[in-house]
Chains A and B, each alone.
Chain A
Amino acid sequence: MTMDEFLKNMSGRFGSNILNINKKSDKRAYIDIYPKDIKEFVRYVFKELSFRFDTASGVDDFDTLEILYHFSHDPSGITISLRAILNDKQDPHIDTITDITRSAWWIERELHELFGIEFNDNPDLRPLLLPDDWPKGVYPLRKDFQPPKRDSRKE
């Protein structure tokens, strides 16, 4: 499977549900999608096409939050990123993909605590990296995060 074949099949299957395709090279492509369709896309690339889930990365774009789900296809050497843009920064939420692949178990917990993204129907969103006494509603990887002053520890 080459990148062009993959993109053609994907366009044929999802049509107007794909917002934009940015083919960076024969090995890399970024595909923008609606957050509501994430499950269908992940089911297609992970289950049907046997891509390997690399990781997901959240990005704070000041006005919006976006999640990139990175997948690699080892037999053909292509890597794709599904970009879901969450417009509501106050209450960002997206469906969980942990029921499709357990490999997303930790990364959803991480995105939840570092970006404040809610994953619908994910039963396990306990903190993974931050300490237990981390204040609620403070998300360190957002651009507006201000690290606490050192003096505040003395109080």
Chain B
Amino acid sequence: MSHNAHIPIGPYHPLQEEPEFYKLVVDGEKVVDVDVRIGYNHRGIEKLSESKSYDQSIFLVERICGICSSSHPIACCQALEDIGDIEVPERALYIRSICQELERLHSHMLWLGLAGHFIGYNTVFMWAWKYREPICDIMETVTGNRQNYAMHKVGGVRRDIEKEHVSYILKRLDEFTKHLTMLKGAVLDDPVLHERLKGIGILSKEDAIDYAAIGPVARASDVDIDVRRDHPYGVYDRVKWNVITQKEGDVFAKAVVRILEMFESVSIVRQCLDRMPEGPIDSNPKEIPPGEGIGQIEAPRGECFHYIKSDGTNSPVRHKVRAPTYMNFPTFRETVIGETISDATIILAAIDPCYCCTERMLIVNSHDKNVMDVNELIRLSQEKTRLIKDKYKAI
């Protein structure tokens, strides 16, 4: 008789925008197999897009994800611009890149906070979410909205950045950078976090390539890819920045990549504001000719891929959307198996899967019908951190 217990996790969590269902098979403390079922939030957006006009499609894809609500529209616009060889004015490209980087900043901050919560660092959680506020405020200044910006259109952007706003944006960025530097020190110099996060959930370089992992997940496993540099779009080939990679592939490396990337993003936003030329922000294209187009951009979680086929009418024949988590998700089969249950939460969180499903978590032990909920699982994770902390106090 098998001694493995099955742990169903999910599928719904009121705080998360993408519910998923995980089934962990555990032998004692150790995870021996894992399966995922997605689709609880499948809204048929690809099908729906076929019945919308191109202008509406952009609003539609903006609603795929509340966090990447700048990435999807830009990728969609780029796919349409690829079909029609539509030129985008220089100033619009700068504004798009600014939106992209601001989005990356707030998304990574969000991740840092949740990751902190999962391992029992609730101070990090409070800090990260508090210090994310300046970014949302800047977003509001630039686009008019804190989320779901409605900023992008085929051929350009809808709103210009006013001159008088630039100094405000720079001031808030300074404020953010100060806090970010402090957070970086607090997280990366903490010996407890080193012990807690290093060496768990390792994704090897070979696996990362075979699974076609992208974004920070791949970069933490020493796969040096970044759509912003490799398939240049926007103005990323005109500003100076670095692609951050780490060799280890563990949870700590993924955190380091994201934290250091934020500094690069701040630098990109500053350079863009500095160099942005005057001029039009919209080339006002009138129609999309028949053809096929691909839009690739680097969203906070990795490459976001849109494929659109047009037959010359006002709506797409086919609109394929591939969000980054789709490629990164399956890798956690490699990273979770062999680890303990108390590490499973943070390993799942480390791929930044548009956080899902942990509140409704249940542990059903097939022998003694022992049932635990998510709080118990997070408690296990936090308990482990506390034990490490106590050890350091004793030294």
20 contacts between A and B (CB under 8 A): A28-B294, A52-B214, A54-B296, A54-B303, A54-B305, A55-B322, A57-B307, A59-B309, A72-B296, A79-B231, A79-B296, A81-B292, A102-B210, A102-B330, A103-B211, A103-B327, A103-B330, A127-B39, A130-B42, A141-B46
CB of A151, distance to nearest CB on chain B (Å)? 19
Asked whether, in the complex, the Cβ of B320 is within 8 Å of the Cβ of A128, the reply is no
Quick check: is A148 within 8 A (CB to CB) of the other chain? Answer: no
A77 to B225, CA, bound (A): 10
Residues of B within 8 A of A102 (CB): 210-211, 330
Asked whether, in the complex, the Cβ of B39 is within 8 Å of the Cβ of A70, the reply is no
Quick check: is B168 within 8 A (CB to CB) of the other chain? Answer: no
Given A72-B230, A72-B296, A72-B303, list of 11 further CB < 8 A pairs? A24-B82, A50-B209, A52-B212, A59-B309, A60-B318, A74-B231, A77-B231, A102-B210, A103-B211, A103-B212, A127-B39
Residues of A within 8 A of B330 (CB): 102-103, 105-106
Sorting the interface of chain A by its residue count into under 10, 10 to 19, 20 to 34 or 35 or more gives 35 or more
A131 to B233, CA, bound (A): 38
In A66-98, the 8 Å CB interface with B consists of: 68, 70, 72, 74-75, 77, 79, 81
> For residue B334, which residue of chain A has the nearest CB?
A102
Asked whether, in the complex, the Cβ of B210 is within 8 Å of the Cβ of A106, the reply is no
CB of B187, distance to nearest CB on chain A (Å)? 29
Asked whether, in the complex, the Cβ of A54 is within 8 Å of the Cβ of B322, the reply is yes
In B317-375, the 8 Å CB interface with A consists of: 317-318, 320, 322, 326-327, 329-330
Quick check: is B47 within 8 A (CB to CB) of the other chain? Answer: yes
Closest 7 pairs between A and B when the two form their complex, measured CB to CB: A103-B212, A129-B39, A57-B320, A55-B322, A74-B230, A129-B42, A53-B212
Residues of B within 8 A of A81 (CB): 292, 294, 307
In B294-311, the 8 Å CB interface with A consists of: 294, 296, 303, 305, 307, 309
Contact partner of B210 among A28, A101, A107, A129, CB < 8 A? Answer: A101
CB of A49, distance to nearest CB on chain B (Å)? 13
Quick check: is A41 within 8 A (CB to CB) of the other chain? Answer: no
Quick check: is B44 within 8 A (CB to CB) of the other chain? Answer: yes
Asked whether, in the complex, the Cβ of A74 is within 8 Å of the Cβ of B225, the reply is yes
Residue of A74, A102, A106, A127 with highest tally of chain B CB at under 10 A:
A74
Asked whether, in the complex, the Cβ of B305 is within 8 Å of the Cβ of A30, the reply is no
Residues of A within 8 A of B225 (CB): 52, 74
Asked whether, in the complex, the Cβ of B294 is within 8 Å of the Cβ of A70, the reply is yes
A95 to B180, CA, bound (A): 49
Quick check: is B232 within 8 A (CB to CB) of the other chain? Answer: yes
**CB-defined interface of B192-214 with A at 8 Å, one 1/0 digit per residue?**
00000000000000000111101
Residues of B within 8 A of A79 (CB): 231, 294, 296
> For residue A83, which residue of chain B has the nearest CB?
B292
A28 to B233, CA, bound (A): 14
Asked whether, in the complex, the Cβ of A59 is within 8 Å of the Cβ of B303, the reply is no
**CB-defined interface of B129-145 with A at 8 Å, one 1/0 digit per residue?**
00000000000000000
Quick check: is B15 within 8 A (CB to CB) of the other chain? Answer: no
**CB-defined interface of A102-113 with B at 8 Å, one 1/0 digit per residue?**
110111000000
Asked whether, in the complex, the Cβ of A128 is within 8 Å of the Cβ of B210, the reply is no
Quick check: is B388 within 8 A (CB to CB) of the other chain? Answer: no
In B4-42, the 8 Å CB interface with A consists of: 37-39, 42
Residues of B within 8 A of A28 (CB): 82, 294
> For residue B214, which residue of chain A has the nearest CB?
A52
Residues of A within 8 A of B210 (CB): 101-103
Given contacts A77-B231, A103-B327, contact A129 B38 (CB under 8 A): yes
A127 to B47, CA, bound (A): 18
Residues of B within 8 A of A50 (CB): 209
Given contacts A28-B82, A57-B307, contact A101 B212 (CB under 8 A): yes
Asked whether, in the complex, the Cβ of B329 is within 8 Å of the Cβ of A59, the reply is no
Given contacts A59-B309, A68-B307, contact A77 B212 (CB under 8 A): no
Residues of A within 8 A of B214 (CB): 52
Residues of B within 8 A of A127 (CB): 39
Quick check: is A39 within 8 A (CB to CB) of the other chain? Answer: no
A103 to B303, CA, bound (A): 14
In A124-147, the 8 Å CB interface with B consists of: 127-131, 140-141, 145
Asked whether, in the complex, the Cβ of B39 is within 8 Å of the Cβ of A131, the reply is yes
In A20-53, the 8 Å CB interface with B consists of: 24-25, 27-28, 30, 50, 52-53
Asked whether, in the complex, the Cβ of B232 is within 8 Å of the Cβ of A106, the reply is no
Residues of B within 8 A of A54 (CB): 212, 296, 303, 305, 322
A101 to B230, CA, bound (A): 22
Residues of B within 8 A of A68 (CB): 307
